[in-house]
Amino acid sequence: MNAIISAAELATDLSGERPPTLLDVRWQLSVAKAAGEPAFDGRAEYAAGHVPGAVFVDLDAELAAAPGPDGRHPLPDIEEFGAAMRRAGVSAKVPVIVYDGGQGWAAARAWWLLRWTGHPDVRVLDGGLSAWAGDLSVDVPTPAEGDFQPVPEPAGFLDADGAAALARSGVLFDARAGERYRGEVEPIDRVGGHIPGAVSAPTMQNVAADGRFLPAEELNARFRALGADDGTEVGVYCGSGVSGAHEVLALAVAGIPAALYVGSWSQWSSDPSRPVAVGPDPQ
């Protein structure tokens, strides 16, 4: 099953006999704002217009636990996550389509969590809301309670020790911008640099200018050139497990399974005992 869906395909599915559950996960990374500049409000964006039938999901409140030692976007409590998904109408036997404003990171986080906890049919709207050509709605639906019960998979998830080991035994991709990987700048976390052995693979290089993913064969060639050969175990991390989920999604489009280190650099760098590498080379 393809991990992404086009806007045209979504329109067809929504008008069919078995429409998918539709989740709107608009979100932006919180960074320092200029004086007087309002912070991004995904719920307000949703209220101003969304794909008809979509239910808003709050990434910070429902797809992550509170920031702390485990990172800026640690795993949510699984029971609380399941309850949030059921409130949004998610059921195990009904397809789920997730979208955000266009960057794809937040939608990918929802996709990864649902897939990792056992939902069999989840896709991301390629290009996000920006790709949607249909009408928007301001009506807020009240979905029937879903029946989804999350059961995390043993595979697909990395902790800090697992990420460190994978950087030696397989390939661990760093999905952040190259300058953060190299340690030249670090606008958010305690220190710049990367996990020793990790390979720089910025997730923004997986998409075209319009935010849609590159063709599967191009993505496959890119990741293979970076070391994701047949039989090689692959993992991904980023700053806090959001853009890294987008790279896991890109790898899925390319036909390459990968695990996500959810704590990512925000967890790794907060522990002074963890080694930090700088510069363009993995070591």
- Rg of the chain (C-alpha set): 18
Same domain for 125 and 9? yes
The whole-number pLDDT of residue 175 equals 98
Q: Is residue 170 part of a domain?
A: yes
Q: Which of 131, 149, 173 marks a domain boundary?
A: 131
Q: Is residue 277 part of a domain?
A: no
Question: What pLDDT tens digit does each residue of the chain (283 aa) get?
Answer: 799 999 999 999 999 989 999 999 999 876 544 455 667 899 999 999 999 999 999 999 999 999 999 999 999 999 999 999 999 999 999 999 999 998 899 999 999 999 999 999 999 999 999 999 999 999 999 999 999 999 999 889 999 999 999 999 999 999 999 999 999 999 998 899 999 999 999 999 999 999 999 999 999 999 999 999 988 999 999 999 999 999 999 999 999 999 999 999 999 999 999 999 999 999 8
Q: Is residue 166 part of a domain?
A: yes
The whole-number pLDDT of residue 282 equals 94
Same domain for 166 and 53? no
Same domain for 127 and 37? yes
Same domain for 212 and 95? no
- Residues 11, 158: Cα–Cα separation, whole Å: 36
The whole-number pLDDT of residue 140 equals 95
Same domain for 214 and 114? no
The whole-number pLDDT of residue 30 equals 64
Q: Is residue 97 part of a domain?
A: yes
Same domain for 261 and 163? yes
User: Residue 63 is part of a domain; what is its CATH number?
Assistant: 3.40.250.10
For 194, the token pair is 């990367």
The whole-number pLDDT of residue 40 equals 80
Give me the domain span that covers residue 190: 157-268
Same domain for 111 and 52? yes
Q: Is residue 110 part of a domain?
A: yes
- Residues 255, 264: Cα–Cα separation, whole Å: 23
- Residues 19, 7: Cα–Cα separation, whole Å: 14
Same domain for 180 and 98? no
Do residues 268 and 275 lie in contact, with contact meaning Cβ atoms separated by under 8 Å?
A: no
Same domain for 175 and 259? yes
Do residues 211 and 131 lie in contact, with contact meaning Cβ atoms separated by under 8 Å?
A: yes
The whole-number pLDDT of residue 39 equals 76
The whole-number pLDDT of residue 37 equals 62
Q: Which of 61, 96, 131 marks a domain boundary?
A: 131
Q: Which of 131, 146, 170 marks a domain boundary?
A: 131
Same domain for 19 and 125? yes
Same domain for 250 and 195? yes
Catalytic residue numbers read 238
Q: Is residue 144 part of a domain?
A: no
| 175: Cβ contacts below 8 Å, ≥ 6 apart | 201, 202, 203, 236, 237, 238, 243, 244, 246, 247
Q: pLDDT (tens digit, 9 = 90+) per residue, 242-283?
A: 999 999 999 999 999 999 999 999 999 999 999 999 999 998
Same domain for 184 and 65? no
The whole-number pLDDT of residue 32 equals 45
Angle at 155 between CA 81 and CA 269, to 5 degrees: 75
Q: Is residue 278 part of a domain?
A: no
Total domains, the chain? 2
- Residues 199, 266: Cα–Cα separation, whole Å: 17
Q: Is residue 56 part of a domain?
A: yes
